[in-house]
Amino acid sequence: MSESALERRYRRLLAWYPAAFRQQREEEMLAVLLAAARPGQRRPRPSESFDLIRGAIGTRVRLLGSRPPGQRWADGLALFSITAPVLLLAATVLEIAVPYRLPYRTRFFVLPRAFGPHPQIGGLHLLSFLPFIIALACQAVIVVLVLAGQRWLALGAIAATAGCWIANIYLVPELLQVLSASVFLLAGAALIGSPGPRRGRHLLTWRHGIVLVACVAGVQVSTLMYDAASPFIRFVTQAAPGSGVYFAASVALAAVSALLAASFRLNRYFVLFLAVMFYPYVLQLLPRHGSDDNLIGLPTPQHLTVLFLPALLLSLAAIIAALLPRRPPLLPSLQSGQPPSA
Amino acid sequence: MSPRAMQEATFLILTALAAGSQHGYGIITDVREISGGRVRLRAGTLYSALDRLLAADLVVVDGEEVVEGRLRRYYRLTPSGSGLLAAEAARLAANVRAAQPRLKLAGGTT
């Protein structure tokens, strides 16, 4: 077997290293490996393979905290700390502005008389509940504070708002309950674990804005689907009018959001936080499309664990990471301008 | 680098670079020679160590060249790398000076 086969096998082992490392070191390490190979050697020795894989894993661990600007863990948290409250406020405002209007044609003629001329789920009538108004105002305060870069005040406002939501859980639409819980949990951890919302504001670009708009649109459309597929609507109409369309639109918007986040190369930790934030929301959403199950309707410890364990674990990781000492900076530059002296 | 005792591989790499700049394979052969064949550095270990030393500003890249189509990158000690190696060598020498008379007292060999 030729040396090129050995080279190919070494390259396969070097592929374990992070791309940034390989870009700088692959050819150099390959030259060393080939120079150290025995004459006629056909494949890497087990000790070499073990050494390279161990080195690759160690390098990956070491580079975790020293990614390029915009891809760091702390930056992802900072971005999330500023965008998640905005997303939640936008979703809540849309719950008021774009309600699900009940169909007039039902099997019960009494529906319009019983529910008024424009029966709807969500909408302006939410503003007749004082706890909802207080919660909405608190959300607005959180957004103002994170935009102003007031980390600790924002954290206090999140704690107060979470308390308000918990105290009035049955006066708040179910999907907003789930979304709010994960936003408050993760945004709180992100505020503690990141350099703060000022850093997030500095990193924020129009790309984040576009993904945010797609996410908010997805939340609103899926809320309409959730309302259209509610047991009550199915009871009075013997169907779930529009829910199939809303469901398809929700899935499409979720896919668009994910594709945009990937194509814009947004901070991967920011995207991870968004995904974990939406995980309980999606779990809550899915059973409604086809059954009467409701994960949050009876919030048993098991339900809450299934819904919020990932968010809780990620929040703990964010806080623990903030307590760890800072890692060394990015992989040292290998630029050199001088010829070898020996 | 931390103030802890230096790992042997790190000490030998710094020692190999103390006489002048070397490329990766040169460091491996030099370390084997310095250690009397006892320490055989592998590429993964060498480059993990070099990355740490570069990050700590104990070594720097001193140039590169292409030999027979293969990239060679040269490394050399920085003043702080030399200082750290000298301090570690002095620490080891002091340990040796402390150990040898006691071994003589105990009837051991030196």
- Three-state SS sequence of A132-158: HHHHHHHHHHHHHHHHCCCHHHHHHHH
How many other C-beta atoms are found inside a 10 Å radius of the C-beta of residue B28? 23
Query: Is A47 in the B-facing interface, judged by CB distances under 8 Å?
Result: yes
Q: Of residues A147 and A236, which shows the higher confidence score?
A: A147
Give the integer Cα–Cα distance in Å for B76 and B59.
5
Q: Is A25 on the interface with B (CB under 8 A)?
A: yes
Q: How far apart are the first and last CA of chain A?
A: 35
ipTM for the whole complex: 0.86
Asked if the Cβ–Cβ distance from B43 to A32 is below 8 Å, we say: yes
Cα dist from B3 to A130, A186, B8, whole Å: 61, 38, 14
Q: Label residue A337 by pLDDT band (50, 70, 90).
A: very low
Hey, what are A43's tokens? 């494949």
As a whole number, mean pLDDT of residues B5-10 equals: 85
A174 to chain B nearest CA, in Å? Answer: 51
A260 neighbors A214 (Cβ within 8 angstroms): yes
Paired residues of B73 in beta bridges: B64
Higher pLDDT, A220 or A289: A220
Looking at residue A339, its pLDDT comes to 45
Judge: A341–B20 Cβ closer than 8 Å, yes or no. Answer: yes
Q: Any chain B CB within 8 A of the CB of A324?
A: no
- Work out the pLDDT band at A178, boundaries 50, 70, 90: confident
Reported residue count of chain A is 342
> Which of A25, A34, A47 is closest, CB to CB, to B42?
A47
| pLDDT of the residue at A29 | 93
- Per-domain residue ranges of chain A: 5-66+326-335, 74-323
Structure tokens at A336: 């050199």
What integer pLDDT is reported at residue A294 of this predicted model? 53
Helix, strand, coil abundance in chain B, percent, nearest 5: 55, 15, 25
Q: How many CB pairs under 8 A join A and B?
A: 94
- pTM value is 0.59
Q: What is the pLDDT of residues B24-81, one digit of tens each?
A: 999 999 999 999 989 999 999 999 999 889 988 899 998 888 888 888 999 999 999 9
CB–CB contact B55 A328 (8 Å): yes
E strand intervals along chain A: 100-101, 120-121
Give the pairing type, strands B59-67 and B22-23: unpaired
Q: Pick the residue of B47, B50, B59, B74 with the most A CBs within 10 A to test the interface with A by mutation.
A: B47
pLDDT averaged over chain A? 79
At residue A342, the pLDDT reads: 38
pLDDT at B86 over 50: yes
A98-121 confidence digits (pLDDT tens): 877 766 555 554 454 545 555 667
Picking from B71, B76, B77, B80 by the largest number of A CB atoms within 10 A of its own CB, the best residue to mutate is: B71
